[in-house]
Amino acid sequence: MQLNDGAMQDYALTLDRMIEHAAKWHPEKDVVTRRFDGSITRAGYADVYGRSRKVSAVLQRFDTKYGDRVATLAWNSQAHMECWYGIMGLGAVCHTLNPRLTEEQLAWMIGQSEARILIVSEDLLPLASKIAGLAPSLSEVLVIDTMGPKAPQIEGLPNVQALEPLVADADPGAVVWGDFAETTPCGLCFTSGTTGQPKGVTYTHRGSYLHTLRQLQSDVSGLNSHDVVLPVVPMFHANAWGLPYSAPATGARLVFSGRQADGETLARLIIAEGVTVAVGVPTVWLDVFDYLDANGLDVPSLKRVMVGGSPMNSALMRRIEARGIAVQTTWGMTELSPLGTAAPPGDARSPDTAGRPALGIDLMLTDHEGEPLKKQRESEGHLWVRGPSVVERYFGQDEPATRNGWFPTGDLAQISQDGQLFITGRAKDLIKSGGEWINPTEIEAVVSGLPEVAFAAVVGRQHEKWGERPVLLVQFREGESLADDTLRTTLKAHVPSWWLPDAVIRIPDMPLAATGKIDKIRLRSLYGAA
């Protein structure tokens, strides 16, 4: 007789499950938002869930259908999070826009996604007006985080309505969430376009769901229901590292700082809300701990700072750890949803490690032609990745972004014997001098590790004889400085003599790109000519 093998339930891995879970099992855990005027709003997960479904009802009134792209131009806030779930719960795609880009760049992205609806923070309406003039597909503008009952009218911006009154009157009874395959697209985020036009990365419900489970592993974020999480990394950049999914999934409280990401605002929020885990790029934490030090303040609740996007200099890491706060380094990129590797909390490690991959991400090193290195440990090579949350094909493109199932990151890396990943540079940032390669990242790591230095960057300058030569750009901490000879002497102990920069240029403010990283493109344009 043929036996029935049995079966498991067909339970789709869709993101609406995250906020539904939080509403059912952690209904009173709140989402906190600091508004433009400094006031604080709070809403429990049950309220956020109900309001998200009302956002879906509003979008249905505007004829939003499965697969439609809905654009958002907004800061980290409860309202933005509700729009995320409201869009994605319908099977539509949330196309996040970075307000630090130009109106031409943003309009181009909207032209690619063909979004009809733009959800925008009130203070960004002037930018939205400029975008609308260049993006004919837009027909409706819905305003969130308003300071009054009505949205201000901006010349040249038609069909502007405040979303809050529409949400208040909406009936979510007819809204059906999650009635689609788990492979359905849920998000669209364009890369920063450091080489050529930006590329759109399409996230799926399944990929983001699995990314959430990977992030919640104890060796990664290890969040739990007792945590209070401050995501300073923007929701418009690689999904705020997935924290608006993983926090409700485990019942952790969320604290959003809105538009403000200065040291004083973030430090005061950490203290007032009892933040236990704070997440963002290294430049953010320099300002925070400068403010704390200058004002003699402590942050007793803060247990851990997670950093990524660019390396944290060792001097800043030592300052933070001296307070008893663990620094957790990570590596990732937009194409990875975005987390790739993380150093486990409290793990004994080198300060420049990017950590290890968690289950769901695999790494490979290759030569410059993409052939796997025979020796994968203790060798430098080009880094490739694969996994269920890694891009396979960019938005609107027919050709795969992968080769034999592996995605080329553009990073140079080493993997230690114990599996630690070390990012040793970007292939496009290498400087070719006299036919030999100089790696700016190694020079930057030495200089930025000095306690007097706030930021350091190295770019290639055109040279008649050698082709290119390195130039060191330094921003010192306030009241600090070092002589050129001191910097060169320090470098001599760590890099070959022919790597020493031809010039040291002091700059008052290091230019930062829209993602918070040092803007190498701008530095090359300013200092790269002979």
* Residues with active-site annotation: 191, 335, 432, 437
Bridge partners of 42?
32
All residues at 6 or more sequence positions from 456 whose CB lies less than 8 Å from its CB, including other chains: 313, 443, 444, 447, 448, 472, 473, 474, 475
Cα(188)–Cα(92) distance, integer angstroms: 10
- Helix (H, G, I), strand (E, B), or coil: what is residue 295? helix
To 10 degrees, what angle do helices 440-448 and 314-321 make?
40
Q: What DSSP assignment string belongs to 409-455?
A: EEEEEEE-TT--EEEEEEGGG-EEETTEEE-HHHHHHHHHTSTTEEE
Q: Which two tokens stand for residue 450?
A: 């000095």
Cα(252)–Cα(299) distance, integer angstroms: 19
Q: Residue 56 has what DSSP assignment?
A: H
- The answer to whether the CB of 439 falls within 8 A of the CB of 424 is yes
Based on the number of CB atoms within 10 Å of its own CB, is 116 exposed (0-12), middle (13-18) or buried (19 or more)?
middle
- The answer to whether the CB of 114 falls within 8 A of the CB of 68 is no
Q: What type of residue sits at position 172?
A: P
Q: Which two tokens stand for residue 28?
A: 């009173």
Q: In terms of Cα–Cα distance, which of 98, 57, 94, 58 is closest to 75?
A: 98
All residues at 6 or more sequence positions from 149 whose CB lies less than 8 Å from its CB, including other chains: 162, 164, 165
Q: Which two tokens stand for residue 262?
A: 């200065």
- The answer to whether the CB of 183 falls within 8 A of the CB of 327 is no
C-alpha torsion sign, points 100, 128, 78, 33: positive
Q: Which two tokens stand for residue 366?
A: 């290759």
